[in-house]
Chains A and B, each alone.
Chain A
Amino acid sequence: MLKKIIRSNEFVIFLILVFLSLAIGLVNPAFFSISTLFDTLRASIVFLIMAYGLLPIIIAGGIDISFVAIAAVTSYATHMFLIGRGYQGSILLYYTIACVLGVLMGLLNGVLVTRFKLQVFDVSLAAFTMWYGFNLFFVGATANYEIPQSAVGYYNQFIIRTRDPFVGETGLHVSILYVIVIGLVIAWLLKYTTIGRGVFAIGGNREVALRSGFNITRITLITFAVMGLLSAVAGVTQAFLSRNFNPVIFITQPLDVLAAIILGGAAITGGSGSILGTTLGVLVIQLINRALILTGIPVEWQRFVVGLILILFTSIPALRAMRARRVGHTTELVEGE
C-alpha cells in the first residue's frame, strides 16, 4: 500500500511542491508566512476551478483549449448585459446567468464532437478563436471596472483574516470553499458514478467502451457541459476577485491549465488523471510563479522554468519505459532473480 502511494504520480508532484517550498524559503525566509500561503491559494482559485472542469475531458482522451474563452465570454457578456441595465444586486445573478451560458457553450462543443464526429481539439481551437472574437466584436473591446453595489466588497470576503507586517490585513478568500466543494464533487463523480467510470473507460479504450454499452454520446456531452459550467464559475470569480471585467481574460493561459493537469499525472492520450494530482499540479505552477518573484529571479524566467519542470516531469515515465526497452525480456532469467 505504502509502495503504491510512493510510486504514484501524486506523490512525486507532492515532493516537487515540498522541495520548491523549501528551496524558496531558504532563499527568502519571508516566504514562510500565512499571507504568502493565502496569496498563493487566492491566485490558484480560478485555475483550480478551470482545471477541474477540463480534467474529465482530458481523461476521456480529448484536449480542449476553449474553456478560457468560455470563461471570458460568459463573465464579460453577463457583466456588460447587467451593468447596461443598471444592475446593482448580488453576485448570485452573475453566477446564474454565466453558468447557463457556459453550459450551453460547452454543449455546443459537445454536440459538434458527438454529432459530426469532429476531433475535440479541432472544435475547441475553433471555439477558442470564435468566442474571443465574439467577445471583442459584439460585446466590447475594453476592460470594465464597474462593480454592482452589492458585490463591491466581495473581493475581500475572507473566511480567515490575518495581519501581515508587510501587506497589511489579508486573508483566505471565501471562494476557496467553491474550489473544495467542486473538487470533491468532480472527484466523487469520477470515482463513484457509472458516468465517471465511463469517462475513464472511453479514455482507456473507446471501441471497447462502446461495445460494453457505455453511452458515449451522453458521457461526452456531460463532460463538455461540466467544462462550460466550471469555466463560467471561474470567469465570474476571477472578475470579482480582480475587480475588473476583461474581454480577453485568460487568453494566454489555456496551456498553463493543461500543463498543470499533465503535471498532475493525467495522460494527454487519456485514460488517467485525478483531482488530487490536478490540484497539486496547479499549486506547483502557481508556486513557481510566486517563487520567482520572491527569490528575485526575473519574471521572464517563469515560463522557462515551468516548461523545464514539465519536461523533466513528463520524461520520468518515458525514461522508465526507455530503460525497460533497452534491456532484454528474457523472462526465464527475470523469474530467477
Chain B
Amino acid sequence: MTDILPGTDPVSQAALKDEILRAEHISKRFGGVVALNDVSLSIYKGEICCLVGENGSGKSTMIKIISGVYTPDEGDITVNGRQYKKLTPITSIHEGIQVIYQDFSLFPNLTVAENIAINQQLASGKQLVNWKQVEQIAREGLAKINVSLPLDAEVSTLSTADRQLIAIIKALLANARIIIMDEPTTALTQKEVAALFKVINGLKSQGMSILFVSHKLNEVIEIADRTVIFRNGKKTMDQDAKGLDAKKMEFYMTGREIDGQAITFGEVNQADAPLLKVEQLNLARGFFDVSFELKPKEVLGITGLLGSGRTELALALFGELPANSGKIYLQGKEVQIKTIQDATAHGIAYVPDDRIRQGLFLEHSIENNIVVSIIGRLVNRLGLVNSKRKASEAQRWVRQLELKTPSPELPVKSLSGGNQQRVVLAKWLASNPKILILNGPTVGVDVGSKAEIHELIRSLAQQGLGILLISDDIPELFQTCHRILLMRAGRIVEEYKRQDITEQALNAELVAAAPVRADASASTHVSAQP
C-alpha cells in the first residue's frame, strides 16, 4: 500500500460511470501556505466516502472548494458531467452539493416544521406563509429519513442529534445529491451516533452520496465504503475501506508509526498518602456514592458514556456543580468545595471538554490567555500588570509545552486545535495546581498532536501532579492512565488497573453500559435519591 499518485484513482472502472463529482488536480494556496497541492477527489453515487486527515491537512479547504466558497488556483471540478473552472456557492447548491456545517444553520427560536420548510418558502418567492403546507413539507422531510420529531417544538429545546437530523432533512429537501458532513459526531452520545449512522446508511441505499469528514477513526472504520486520507495538502490514501485498520490510517495521516508499546509510565508510590480522596460523593441527577483516591504522580482515568455522570463528577470537584453530600479530602484534610474559587484556592485546575467555549478567549493573544488565571501574581505595587513579567511567564509556558506559534502575541484562534489545547493547559499549569482534571483533552485534536498531549500528560504526572483524566477514548486512557474507573448511570461500577485489562475488553464494558442501567435494582436505587 504505497502512496497513491495524485490524479490516479484506485476505484475500478465499473464504478466510473456513477461518478457524480470529480475534482481534478486541485491546488490552493493562501499567501505562502499551500493548503492543497495537486489533489484529486471523486465521489460516486450511493457511497459513503470518508475524508480523514489531521488539522491543516487540507480537508476543510477541499470542502470549501467543492461547495464553491473558495476558488481553486489550479484544477477543475466536474459535477454531474458539467465541468467548472470554479464553482460559486449557488451553482454548487444547484448541482446538489449540500454541506452540513457544525452549527447546523438553524433558527433556535423557530419550530422544527418551520426550520425544515423555510428554504422552500423563500425559494418559492411567495409573500404569504401557508402553515398547512409548512407542516406538510416537514412531514415529508421527516419521512425521507424515517424519523419522527415533534413538529411544533422549538429547535432550541432539541438535542444536538435532533438538530443534526433537521439539518440533514433540509439538505435533502434542497435536492441534495451529495451531502458533506463536517465532523458530524463531535457532540453526540454513542446511541445518537448509532442512530445517525442508520440514517446515513438509509440515505446511501436511496442513492445519496455522503462525504463524511471525521477525526474519529473507529467511526470511519464503521461507516466508510471508501476512505480518503489527506496529509499536508496531499492525498496519501484513497482506497476501498474494507480491511483498513486504525493503525494504517494513522500512518497515512501522520506519516509516522504511533507506537502504543514504547510508552514509559511514571511510577506511583503506593506508600504515598493520597492527594485527593473522595468519599460517598452525591449530586442530584448527576452521580451517587462516588468514592476514590488519587495519589501524587498518578493519572486516574474516569470513563463512561456521554451522560454517565463523568462530566458532572469533574464539575463537582471543580465547584461548578457542588456536590449535595459526601466528603472531599485534600492531602488528608477535609475541604469544602462549593464554588470554583474554593477549588482553585485548593489547587484544583479543570480543563473543560469544550475548550473553545469554556476555556479560551479566542480573539485574545496566546500570552493573555496563558496568564489570565494568574494575573493577580503579575502585578506591581501599584496594582498594575507588569508586562515584562507577563511576557516572560507566557514565554516560559510556550517553551515548556512546545507551543507552535511564531509569536505569543497572536490571537489564540490562529492556532490549530492541538495547540489551542496546549494553551488551555498552560493557563492552568501557570497557577501551579496540585490536581489537574482533564475532560476529553484531545477531543477534536488531530492524531499527531494527540500523541504529544498524551506525552505531556505523562510527564506532568511524573512531576508530582495528580491527574484525573475523563475520557471515552479508550486508547487515550491506555496511553496515559495508571488506573481506570468505569462510570455507569452515575455510579462507579468498576476499577481497573491498566495492566489488568485490554483495550478491547474495556471498550466492550463501556459500550455495554447503556442497556444494563435498565435493570430494576439500579433504577429504584436511583429514584430513592433526593
Q: Do A332 and B489 contact each other (CB < 8 Å), given the known contacts A201-B107, A211-B105?
A: yes
Query: Which residues of A305-337 have CB atoms within 8 Å of chain B's CB atoms?
Result: 325-334, 336-337
Write the nearest CB–CB distance from A2 to chain B, whole angstroms: 14
Write the nearest CB–CB distance from B321 to chain A, whole angstroms: 6
Q: Does A208 contact B106, Cβ atoms closer than 8 Å?
A: yes
Interface centre among B118, B283, B315, B490 (most CB of A within 10 A): B118
Q: Dominant SS at the B interface?
A: loop
Write the nearest CB–CB distance from A165 to chain B, whole angstroms: 49
B490 to A, closest residue via Cβ:
A330
A197 to B, closest residue via Cβ:
B129
Q: Does B121 contact A197, Cβ atoms closer than 8 Å?
A: yes
Interface centre among A192, A205, A272 (most CB of B within 10 A): A205
Write the nearest CB–CB distance from B477 to chain A, whole angstroms: 20
Contact of B284 among A193, A196, A200, A327 (CB under 8 A): A327
Contact of B307 among A203, A272, A332 (CB under 8 A): A332
Q: Dominant SS at the A interface?
A: helix
User: Is B271 close to A, CB under 8 A?
Assistant: no
Q: Does B109 contact A200, Cβ atoms closer than 8 Å?
A: yes
Which residues from A are CB-within-8-Å of B517? Answer: 332-333, 336
A59 to B, closest residue via Cβ:
B109
User: Is B518 close to A, CB under 8 A?
Assistant: yes
Q: Does A212 contact B119, Cβ atoms closer than 8 Å?
A: yes
Interface centre among A191, A332, A336 (most CB of B within 10 A): A332
Contact of B490 among A193, A196, A211, A332 (CB under 8 A): A332
Which residues from B are CB-within-8-Å of A333? Answer: 285, 309, 489-490, 517, 526
Q: Does B321 contact A328, Cβ atoms closer than 8 Å?
A: yes
Q: Does A193 contact B527, Cβ atoms closer than 8 Å?
A: no
Which residues from A are CB-within-8-Å of B122? Answer: 194, 212-214
Write the nearest CB–CB distance from A330 to chain B, whole angstroms: 4
User: Is B523 close to A, CB under 8 A?
Assistant: yes
B308 to A, closest residue via Cβ:
A332
User: Is B388 close to A, CB under 8 A?
Assistant: no
Q: Does A194 contact B490, Cβ atoms closer than 8 Å?
A: no
A198 to B, closest residue via Cβ:
B122
User: Is A271 close to B, CB under 8 A?
Assistant: yes
Extra inter-chain contacts (11) besides given A204-B108, A213-B122, CB under 8 Å: A201-B107, A213-B123, A214-B122, A271-B108, A327-B283, A327-B285, A329-B307, A330-B312, A332-B489, A332-B490, A332-B513
User: A residues touching B (Cβ–Cβ < 8 Å)?
Assistant: 191-197, 200-201, 203-205, 208-209, 211-214, 271-272, 325-334, 336-337
User: B residues touching A (Cβ–Cβ < 8 Å)?
Assistant: 105-110, 114, 118-119, 121-123, 126-129, 131, 189, 283-287, 305-309, 312, 315, 321, 488-490, 513-514, 517-518, 522-523, 526-527
User: Which 3 residue pairs across A and B have the least CB separation, nearest first?
Assistant: A328-B286, A331-B307, A328-B312
